[in-house]
Chain A
């Protein structure tokens, strides 16, 4: 079964850091670009970051550029999001999502991990 499982969320103070992880199973992880998408409580979806299969191409949304770093370890079937200088507005459910190659969208999503930034 194709599956993505996120972890690492929690409560952090403004200005703090957190590292999210996403472990993939049921498919060849190294063959797919991967993404992080977030959703603030009661709000819509916001794309955060994308990383290509070999990590050669990395992109960020404007709201996280310079603060968040996406990475992957294909040997461990894992995707990461290092989040620094966290703000209250970063409070959200963070989803890991697999790219649907050549279709310009995401077709596999994890269940998400919640990040709360509050003092």
Chain B
């Protein structure tokens, strides 16, 4: 089973600052299978990035994804007040089909 480890657990930043979130897989993952979602308190997750680097519809360009193999990164170039939330990376495995999530990174207001 491929495990996803996100770091840091919590990121304390001020609006306007940049954020770099890491997602490390225990084995190599196809970039096609790696996505990022955002979840705010009391809300369902929202897809931000799929295929490691493609933004979902309606996602601002301050969000970007990168990486390959076992190391993936979500970058928020300049934090807006609405970006303070929990972020999850997610991977798909094909045999048998299953999806796993990282444990999440909380981005909080400093």
Q: Which residues of A contact B (CB under 8 A)?
A: 35, 37, 44-47, 50, 57, 59, 61, 95, 100, 103-107, 109-112
Contacts and interface: CB of A to CB of B under 8 A. Distances in A.
A52 B102 CA distance: 24
B50 A105 contact: yes
Contacts of B35: 103-105
Interface of B: 32-33, 35, 37, 39, 43-47, 50-51, 54, 56-57, 88, 90, 92, 96-104
B102 A104 contact: no
A104 B32 contact: yes
B33 A104 contact: yes
Given A59-B97, A100-B50, A105-B92, A45 B33 contact: no
B88 A44 contact: yes
B92 A44 contact: no
A45 B101 contact: yes
